[in-house]
Structure 1
């Protein structure tokens, strides 16, 4: 069992990650820093998620001497295309239309840093969507906030309740933080 002995910084503004950390009974504070999330174009989706998580952790090098710093990055991959956060309603509609009636992968890269040590890992979940009508997509975009979510959706939202047929892998990974792997990594860190 993981027993927290050091303060934890969660370097994420994601309310879903914060909720998951609270559910894990971890005591943490949220600290944010601006980080350039660009990445080399020749990376695979899992490598991109870890690369960005590590860039975020590197921004906290000074903070990691007294705190464990946890960073994460989630991306959605559909037919080898990376679907990030939508820029506007049209972009969100395009993304959800692509995902409708198909399957895609959700990758989350996580970095845990303390002092000069960093441990990074990723998780992947296969998500299968039922077909969505244009009316359902419009309803979701108008009533929920798809603009801060990779792939323009949150599995914990309405769309997850009606569109997700099944998943293979971690549910919390699709929310943005693979808690099962994080807990194991913290226990071994």
Structure 2
């Protein structure tokens, strides 16, 4: 019997990326509290979130292989969540302006027998941003549901001068690493 594969994520970007790998899968949304504990490093935080999502999916579909993933933006060792308003987005984007930051994506794959997690860190450099550019970008609506207030695969890609690491991890699911992990389960 072939193992059922589940993506425990409501992200359309993750769904699209996993589809590129050619797997048949279904999607379930999990409700996982996303707040960093005081004693957690950014890496521990993103790992925990991906694990919580995968395990929540496994609770719903106990006979499946479940993928949980989370992406965070880190600048000066500080996690940047999704902005709640223009002021937060401005603050985030101004601190990313004209410098490098890290995007960390954790992928956890679980089944009833095993669990594996990998964290992929990519360095991303931004051009200098003006307040006017940030306000115009906010008006597009794109920054609202994105960690660090930008999407590299969308309009926010115009701010990125270079990356070192996995482009797909910045979008939300590192293809190579996810595929390597899935080979251990399927």
Q: SS in structure 1 opposite 2:180?
A: helix
Q: SS in structure 2 opposite 1:65?
A: coil
Tell me the TM-score normalised to structure 1 length.
0.92
Which residue of structure 2 aligns with residue 130 of structure 1? 127
Give unmatched runs, 5+ long, in structure 1: none
Q: 1:180 aligns with which of 176, 180, 183?
A: 176
The alignment status of 1:16 with 2:13, answered yes or no, reads: yes
How far did 1:7 drift?
A: 1.8
Distance in 2, matches of 1:27 and 1:125, equals 28
How far did 1:23 drift?
A: 1.3
Q: 1:85 aligns with which of 82, 107, 116?
A: 82
Larger mean CA deviation between 25-34 and 99-108 belongs to 25-34
What's the CA shift string for 1:36-63, capped at 9, x where partnerless? 2234322221111111111112223334
Distance in 2, matches of 1:34 and 1:50, equals 16
Q: 1:152 aligns with which of 149, 152, 158?
A: 149
For the 8 Å contact 2:58–2:65, the answer to whether it is kept is no
Distance in 2, matches of 1:39 and 1:52, equals 9
Distance in 1, matches of 2:48 and 2:101, equals 20
Q: SS in structure 1 opposite 2:182?
A: helix
Mapping for residues 22-33 of structure 1, pairs under 5 Å: 22-33=19-30
Give unmatched runs, 5+ long, in structure 2: none
What's the CA shift string for 1:149-180, capped at 9, x where partnerless? 110100011121x2111000000010011111
Which residue of structure 2 aligns with residue 165 of structure 1? 161
Q: SS in structure 2 opposite 1:122?
A: strand
The CA RMSD over aligned residues, in Å, is 1.3
For the 8 Å contact 1:64–1:113, the answer to whether it is kept is no
How far did 1:129 drift?
A: 0.4
Q: SS in structure 1 opposite 2:22?
A: coil
Change (3 A) 1:144 1:39: closer
Tell me the TM-score normalised to structure 2 length.
0.93
Which residue of structure 2 aligns with residue 68 of structure 1? 65
